[in-house]
Amino acid sequence: MDVFGIIVAALFADNFVLSQFLGICPFLGVSKKISSAAGMGLAVTAVMVITCAITYPIYTFLLAPMGLEYLSILVFILLIASLVQILEMVLKRFSPGLYSAMGIYLPLVTTNCAILGIAKIVTATVTSAEEAGYSFGEVFFGHYVKVNMALGYGEAVLSGLFYGLGFTLAIVLLAGLRQKADKLHVAKALKGFPITMLVACFMAMAFYVFTLI
């Protein structure tokens, strides 16, 4: 298993926000402060890991063998919503401190399309890799990062972890840059959301360099 390939793809070359443009709503809406951005990123990462850990076997050993792949989106949405609610209750019961820090962001995770995106990408790769005879790296990372590995449960969970950390990296970077931009003297027409969009565009351009690896 090429762990380095997964890390580079998830964090940089195939970043959910800056490359695939998933999770844009929380990326722009919850990035005014670094603390809130980090809280949202950690919540998304936790849910992504659990989502991949559960949806991978459900799709591979239940939906696909029974020919029910067309129900995957409905099943995944229900699972994600349930996971967020369960995680919120567990944190509130066993870790009040962590719940107070992350609890306000957990309900927002349910509507984050990046969570559904990682579930669909991982499970779609399972089918296409098996049917077409390609390696996991060739299908999942495309022309960005070439790795040769056998598809397995570990790769799916690891992908959920690092794609979540990639989301966290993007939103925390934007929060830091927004705080810097707020202190700059810019034209009145660029203050607020316009300068935020410009910063996000420059971030996407910077991350594009990694797709050339």
What whole-number distance in Å separates Cα of residue 49 and Cα of residue 83? 11
What would the 3-class secondary structure string for 60-103 be?
HHHHCCCCCHHHHHHHHHHHHHHHHHHHHHHHHHHCHHHHHHHC
Stretch among 64-78, 94-108, 146-160, 196-210 having the lowest mean pLDDT: 146-160
Give backbone dihedrals phi and psi of 88, rounded to 5 degrees, phi first: -65, -45
Q: What is the pLDDT of residue 125?
A: 61
Amino acid occupying residue 183: K
* pLDDT value of residue 83: 87
Question: DSSP letter at 168?
Answer: H
Better-scored residue on pLDDT, 101 or 66: 66
End-to-end CA distance of the chain, in Å?
Answer: 19
Q: Tens digits of per-residue pLDDT, 104-161?
A: 777 778 878 899 999 988 887 654 444 445 454 554 444 333 333 345 788 889 999 9
Burial class (CB in 10 A: 0-12, 13-18, 19+), 171: buried
What mean pLDDT comes out for the span 20-37? 88
> CA 115, 164, 196, 106: dihedral to nearest 10 degrees?
60
